[in-house]
Amino acid sequence: MDIRPVEAHQPPYYTVVFTSVRREDGAGEYGEAAERMAELVKDVPGFLGYESARTPGGLGITVGYFRDEEAIGVWQRNAEHRAVQQQGRDEWYENYTVHVAKVEWSYGFERG
């Protein structure tokens, strides 16, 4: 598996940072739903990519990259995404936060 960050894009663009702690007893269908959302968001015009990680202590961070606020809105209004969000509140998450930010500067590095 080739592990690499999402490439730097030409600013400005936007990030949506979803930080969460899952319930210990709330795993259920979480993995399947997360995989489905990862596939579904790729169909959003203006979606640039995402990165996701979870610490051993259970803190999860997913950063989605979008060309503009309109693309974020399309993702927010997606009916299947909204249903999974509700399922997350009902079953999977102890707590979460969402931060949306405009990227003004972006660059990267790759060895060799």
Contacts for 33 with CB less than 8 Å, ≥ 6 apart: 84, 87, 88
Q: What is the pLDDT of residue 1?
A: 67
Q: What is the pLDDT of residue 58?
A: 85
Q: What is the pLDDT of residue 27?
A: 66
Cα–Cα distances (Å) from 36 to 12, 29, 30, 43, 107, in that order, read 28, 11, 10, 12, 29
pLDDT one digit per residue (tens) for the chain, 112 residues: 678 899 999 999 999 999 999 988 766 788 899 999 999 999 999 999 999 999 988 899 999 999 999 999 999 999 999 999 999 999 999 999 999 999 999 999 989 8
* CA separation for the pair 81, 93 (Å, rounded): 15
